[in-house]
Chain A
Amino acid sequence: NAGVTQTPKFRILKIGQSMTLQCAQDMNHNYMYWYRQDPGMGLKLIYYSVGAGITDKGEVPNGYNVSRSTTEDFPLRLELAAPSQTSVYFCASRDRGRVGAFFGQGTRLTVV
């Protein structure tokens, strides 16, 4: 089915390890987003991209990096994992000129 696909669904990291959360969409959407969700806090925007090669910081970018080499993929990189990065991460996409974003199923990350 068409949509936003995130991998992995679950991951446990040790402090200081690095990892990449993958996000792919097959709807040819221009805009893609990474959010984190913490209990009782709603979702906070980490980074977003308006197209291949263009990324920008959101509200909580510290400790993360992104790249957008293709329209379809928007990976999120954690270089030195910290306990504060324990969260559920959601990738989303939408088409320019349209309202409402499509969300992936999320990646639950625990840093111990």
Chain B
Amino acid sequence: AQSVTQPDIHITVSEGASLELRCNYSYGATPYLFWYVQSPGQGLQLLLKYFSGDTLVQGIKGFEAEFKRSQSSFNLRKPSVHWSDAAEYFCAVGAGGGGADGLTFGKGTHLIIQP
């Protein structure tokens, strides 16, 4: 069965500092990987996705993520965080293309930005 682990429940970062959120996955086939962000009281917004090709993917809001098959990881990074980045971040794995299966989510990482 597929699963996603986000080891950090909370992360606190100073504004302007760099950020890395960790994500490890377990999936039987070639994974489709996603990072979503959820601001308080809002739905989920897709930050970026990976399913093939270049293992470093760029997303919206200055985020990027790197797929490392050997480590089963898909960590999210941002070189300099802004106060508006404070939110809940979810890593997810699932099928794309013709597969209809829903996504399997990690439990999320709550990002706190210190002034």
| Chain A residues packing against B (C-beta within 8 Å) | 4, 30-31, 33, 35, 40-45, 48, 50, 56, 58, 90, 92, 96-106
Residues of B with C-beta under 8 A to A44: 105
Chain B interface residues toward A at CB < 8 A: 4, 9, 32, 34, 36, 42-46, 49, 51, 90, 96-98, 100-108
* Interchain Cβ contacts within 8 Å, total number: 62
- The contact of A99 among B4, B36, B97, by CB within 8 Å, is B97
A42–B105 CB distance below 8 A: yes
Q: Contact check, B43 vs A96: say whether CB atoms are below 8 A apart.
A: no
A97–B100 CB distance below 8 A:
no
B106 to A, closest residue via Cβ: A42
For the complex, what is the distance from the CA of A40 to the CA of B96, rounded to whole Å?
Answer: 26
Q: A104 contacts B43, CB within 8 Å? A: yes
Q: Is the Cβ of A106 less than 8 Å from the Cβ of B43?
A: yes
Bound complex: CA of A112 vs CA of B44, how far in Å? 27
